[in-house]
Amino acid sequence: MRKIIHLDCDCFFAAVEILDHPEWADIPLAVGGRVEQRGVIATCNYPARAYGVHSAMSSARALKLCPQLKLVAGNMARYRQVAEQIFAIYRQYSRYLEPVSIDEAYLDVTESPLLGGSATRIAEAIRQQVKKEVGITVSAGVAQNKFLAKVASDWNKPDGLFVVDPRYQAEFVAQLPVKKIPGVGPRTQEKLLSLGVSRCAELQRLPKQELVRLFGRFGERLEQLARGEDHRELRLNREAKSVSTEHTFSQDLPDLAACSAQLDSLLQDLERRFRKHREPKQIIGVFVKMKFFDFSQTTAETRSSQTHPSLFLALMAEAWSRGQMPVRLLGVGYRLAPRQEEAACFQQMSLFDSLTSA
């Protein structure tokens, strides 16, 4: 029986801002981009959420919902500093740590002798130590696998702890809404609802063959998670698979020529980010991301070790041809090789054979 803890800092960016500005504690607060730059909300505190503000919402929309919203640009260097303090505390309790993002991680404490080997007591001790030493609240979930631990950490937010007791795991999973399953977005949820499926108990009754027919390979994953099964191990050494940069424009770019004119500055920023990468990696592909004025988006990419601007221009033209509408966001990036591939010989594919969409 494994003992997995999922730890998730509450409203992390906003929490750090409040840590530095205690006078903001009880007012609606959000970290995000400016309205004139078509910014979006990165995170917000609970007083702001009471007005319907949420992450990924446009800053303009957030301010309409909550005119008194305190909107700050954020300070990523400061957030990383606080995150390092928090992760240092996590490592005091287990060396089996999988960082998921700057404010989220899994711990495997299956073999830990601390606190009598109780994952529940370890999770609570971590929460209290982070609150005392750093001043940030952390919600935690305890379960036998990563999927259920992540679901559990969201159960009693903010500043909560929830344990999926193995004795009652089957009952807990059965009543779980399918929207809690990772990968089940609005479209998949809508499709499941059309089949009369809103909870995992109903999903469990669908044959695996039917799920595969409807959802492809994801159908197999659905069948497993609907029963609370997740055999993934913690990834102790997460490797970055790509590095990229993107920009949202204050005014839509009307055509391909206007998009192409932005390429030099985007590539310069991409190179800066690549040089700052923690571990030097071999580039095995390049891509262009394009979001149109109606918020539809596409990605054109090719497998290549070359990074010449002409390659990006060709990909940009390919992406543009799919929408042929004004563009609000452009992004460029590199795909990076896993460590085991870095010494392998690389054979460049033809651009016209390898253009793909995502």
pLDDT tens sequence across 319-345? 999 999 999 999 999 999 876 544 333
Condensed to tens digits (0 to 9), the pLDDT of residues 168-177 reads 999 999 999 9
CB atoms within 10 A of CB 230: 19
Per-residue model confidence (pLDDT) at position 259: 94
* Same domain, residue pair 123 and 214: no
In a domain, 164, yes or no: no
* Same domain, residue pair 130 and 19: yes
The mean per-residue pLDDT over the stretch 4-16 comes to: 96
* Same domain, residue pair 123 and 193: no
**Structure tokens given for 332:** 């460029």
- Interatomic CA distance for residues 332 and 318, integer angstroms: 13
Q: Which phi and psi (to 5°) does residue 9 adopt?
A: -65, 140
Work out how many domains the chain is built from and give that number. Answer: 3
Determine whether 224 is exposed, middle or buried from the number of CB atoms within 10 Å of its CB (0-12, 13-18, 19+).
middle
Residue 307 sits in a domain whose CATH number is 3.30.1490.100
* Same domain, residue pair 247 and 342: yes
As annotated, the active-site residues are 104
In a domain, 315, yes or no: yes
DSSP one-letter code for 291: E
Residue 357 pLDDT class (50, 70, 90 cuts): very low
120 vs 5, 177, 186, 211, CA distance in Å?
A: 8, 24, 33, 35
| Residue 65: CA count within 13 A, CB half-sphere | 19
* Same domain, residue pair 298 and 349: yes
Contact 63, 81 (CB under 8 A): no
The mean per-residue pLDDT over the stretch 343-352 comes to: 35
Residue 248 pLDDT class (50, 70, 90 cuts): confident
* Same domain, residue pair 66 and 183: no
Contact 107, 90 (CB under 8 A): yes
Per-residue model confidence (pLDDT) at position 340: 53
* Same domain, residue pair 124 and 16: yes
In a domain, 160, yes or no: no
Residue 31 pLDDT class (50, 70, 90 cuts): very high
The residue type at 79:
Y
User: Residue 351 pLDDT > 60, yes or no?
Assistant: no
* Same domain, residue pair 6 and 75: yes
* Same domain, residue pair 217 and 187: yes
Residue 39 pLDDT class (50, 70, 90 cuts): confident
The verdict on whether residue 20 carries a ligand-binding annotation is no
- Interatomic CA distance for residues 33 and 40, integer angstroms: 5
- Interatomic CA distance for residues 59 and 249, integer angstroms: 14
* Same domain, residue pair 113 and 212: no
Residue 95 sits in a domain whose CATH number is 3.30.70.270
Q: Are strands 97-101 and 138-143 parallel, antiparallel or unpaired?
A: unpaired
In a domain, 151, yes or no: no
* Same domain, residue pair 11 and 134: yes
Q: What angle do CA 72, 78, 82 make, to 5 degrees?
A: 120
- Interatomic CA distance for residues 200 and 228, integer angstroms: 9
- Interatomic CA distance for residues 291 and 2, integer angstroms: 42
Q: How many residues does the chain have?
A: 358
> Over the range 231-251, which residues count as b (16 or more CB within 10 Å of their CB) and which as e?
eeebeeeeeeeebbbbebbee
Per-residue model confidence (pLDDT) at position 347: 36
**Structure tokens given for 164:** 């999926």
Residue 181 sits in a domain whose CATH number is 1.10.150.20
In a domain, 234, yes or no: no
**Structure tokens given for 111:** 């073999």
In a domain, 153, yes or no: no
In a domain, 328, yes or no: yes
Q: Residue 73's domain spans which residues?
A: 1-138
The verdict on whether residue 264 carries a ligand-binding annotation is no
Contact 73, 33 (CB under 8 A): yes
Which pTM does this prediction carry?
0.73
The residue type at 223:
E
Tell me: cis bond preceding 166? Omega within 30 of 0 counts: no
- In this predicted model, which residue has the larger pLDDT, 358 or 194? 194
Residue 296 pLDDT class (50, 70, 90 cuts): confident
* Same domain, residue pair 1 and 134: yes
In a domain, 105, yes or no: yes
* Mean pLDDT value across the chain: 88
In DSSP terms, which residues pair with 330 in a beta bridge? Answer: 247, 290
- In this predicted model, which residue has the larger pLDDT, 218 or 279? 218
Q: Which phi and psi (to 5°) does residue 171 adopt?
A: -65, -40
